[in-house]
Structure 1
Amino acid sequence: MGKVEIDYSVYLVTGREFLPAGKDYYESLEESLQGGVTLVQIREKDADTGEFIEVARRSKEICDKYNVPVLINDRIDVHLAVGTAGIHIGQTDCPLPLARQLVGPDAIIGISVGTVSEAHKAVEEGADYVGIGAVWPTGSKDVRNKKMLGPEGVGEILDILAGTGVKSVAIGGIHLPNLAQLLHSSTGPDSTNHLDGIAIISDIVASQTPKEAARGLRDVVDSFKRVRSSATDPLALFSVQGKREVSVEAFVNGVMGLMDVVKRETPLVHQMTNNVVINDSANATLAVGASPIMSTHPRDVADLSPAIGALLINFGTISDKEGMLVAGRQANFNRKPLVFDPVAIGATSYRRETAVDLLAHWQPTIIKGNAGEIGAMAKSTEVASRGVDSVGSGFSNPGAVVKALARKRAAVIVLTGEQDYISDGSVVLKTSNGHHYLGSITGSGCMTGSLIGCFAAAARLDYLSKNKAFENLSQLVQGDMLLAALAGVVVFNVAAEVAAERPDVKGPGTFRAALIDELYNLTPEIVKKRAKVETLS
Structure 2
Amino acid sequence: MANKPEVDYSLYLVTGRDLLPPGKAIQSIQGGVTLVQVREKTADTGEFLEIARQSKVVCRKYNVPIFINDRIDIALAIGADGVHLGQTDMPVSVARALLPPNTIIGVTVNTREHVRKAVADGADYVGMGPVWGTTTKNVLSPLVGPRGVAKMLEELEGTDVKAVAIAGIKSSNTLHLLHGSVSKSGRALDGVAVVSDIVASTDPRAASARISSTVNAFKTRQQPSGHQFSMTNPVTERPHNPETLKELVGETLTFIKKFSPLVHQITNNVVTNQSANATLALGASPIMATSPEEMEDLSKAIGALLVNFGTIKDLDGMLEAGRNANINRKPIVFDPVGVGATSFRRSSANELLNTWQATVIKGNAGELAALANSSEVKARGVDSVGSGFANPAQFVRDLARAERCVVVLTGAIDWVSDGHTVVKLSNGHPLLGDITGSGCMVGTTVATFCGGMSMSAIARLSENTPEDGWLTRGDMLVAAVGGVLAVTVASELAAVREDVKGSGTFLPALIDELGKLTPETLAKYAKLEVVS
Aligned equivalents of 1:305 and 1:401: distance in 2? 32
Match of 1:253 in 2: 247
Match of 2:471 in 1: 476
Aligned equivalents of 2:481 and 2:179: distance in 1? 22
Distance change >3 Å, CA 32–CA 497, structure 1 → 2: farther
- Structure 1 residue 127 displacement after superposition: 2.7
Deviates more, 1:507-516 or 1:151-160: 151-160
- Structure 1 residue 261 displacement after superposition: 1.6
Distance change >3 Å, CA 464–CA 164, structure 1 → 2: closer
Match of 1:9 in 2: 10
Match of 1:167 among 162, 169, 175: 162
Match of 2:497 in 1: 502
Distance change >3 Å, CA 51–CA 216, structure 1 → 2: same
Deviates more, 1:120-129 or 1:492-501: 120-129
Task: Name the SS of the counterpart of 1:487 in structure 2.
Answer: helix
Distance change >3 Å, CA 216–CA 382, structure 1 → 2: farther
Deviates more, 1:157-166 or 1:350-359: 157-166
Match of 2:80 in 1: 84
- What TM-score results when the alignment is normalised by the length of structure 1? 0.89
Match of 1:176 in 2: 174
Aligned equivalents of 1:123 and 1:241: distance in 2? 39
Match of 2:376 in 1: 382
Match of 1:44 in 2: 40
Match of 2:55 among 44, 53, 59: 59
Match of 1:69 in 2: 65
Task: Name the SS of the counterpart of 2:378 in structure 1.
Answer: strand
Match of 1:305 in 2: 299
Aligned equivalents of 2:115 and 2:393: distance in 1? 35
- What TM-score results when the alignment is normalised by the length of structure 2? 0.90
Distance change >3 Å, CA 495–CA 205, structure 1 → 2: farther
- Structure 1 residue 281 displacement after superposition: 0.8
Conserved? CA contact 1:228–1:234, under 8 Å: no
Gaps of 5+ in 2: none
Aligned equivalents of 1:265 and 1:217: distance in 2? 28
Which letter maps to 2:139? V
Conserved? CA contact 1:402–1:423, under 8 Å: yes
Q: Pairwise mapping of residues 246-395 of structure 1 onto structure 2 (< 5 A)?
A: 246-395=240-389
Aligned equivalents of 2:269 and 2:27: distance in 1? 46
Q: What are the superposed Cα offsets for residues 418-454 of structure 1, whole Å, 9 maximum, x if unpaired?
A: 1111112222112111111111111111111111111
Which letter maps to 1:3? K
Aligned equivalents of 1:165 and 1:253: distance in 2? 44
Q: What are the superposed Cα offsets for residues 446-465 of structure 1, whole Å, 9 maximum, x if unpaired?
A: 11111111111111121122
Aligned equivalents of 2:230 and 2:305: distance in 1? 21
Match of 1:488 among 480, 483, 488: 483
**2:225 paired with 1:229:** yes
Task: Name the SS of the counterpart of 1:292 in structure 2.
Answer: strand
Aligned equivalents of 2:30 and 2:470: distance in 1? 20
Deviates more, 1:101-110 or 1:84-93: 101-110
Task: Name the SS of the counterpart of 2:223 in structure 1.
Answer: helix
Conserved? CA contact 2:184–2:401, under 8 Å: no
Aligned equivalents of 1:212 and 1:237: distance in 2? 26
Which letter maps to 1:284? A
Aligned equivalents of 1:188 and 1:260: distance in 2? 34
Task: Name the SS of the counterpart of 1:528 in structure 2.
Answer: helix
Which letter maps to 2:15? T
Conserved? CA contact 2:176–2:326, under 8 Å: no
- Structure 1 residue 370 displacement after superposition: 1.1
Calculate percent identity across the aligned residue pairs: 52
**2:426 paired with 1:432:** yes
Aligned equivalents of 1:62 and 1:398: distance in 2? 56
Distance change >3 Å, CA 236–CA 115, structure 1 → 2: closer
- Structure 1 residue 513 displacement after superposition: 1.5
Aligned equivalents of 1:334 and 1:45: distance in 2? 37
Match of 1:455 in 2: 449
CA RMSD of aligned residues (A): 2.7
Aligned equivalents of 2:184 and 2:521: distance in 1? 44
Conserved? CA contact 2:40–2:69, under 8 Å: yes
Q: What are the superposed Cα offsets for residues 493-527 of structure 1, whole Å, 9 maximum, x if unpaired?
A: 11111111111111111111211122222222222
Distance change >3 Å, CA 158–CA 236, structure 1 → 2: closer
Q: What are the superposed Cα offsets for residues 214-240 of structure 1, whole Å, 9 maximum, x if unpaired?
A: 22441365247x42527xx71356545
Distance change >3 Å, CA 29–CA 325, structure 1 → 2: farther
Aligned equivalents of 1:176 and 1:160: distance in 2? 22
- Structure 1 residue 118 displacement after superposition: 4.0
Task: Name the SS of the counterpart of 1:345 in structure 2.
Answer: coil
Task: Name the SS of the counterpart of 1:512 in structure 2.
Answer: helix
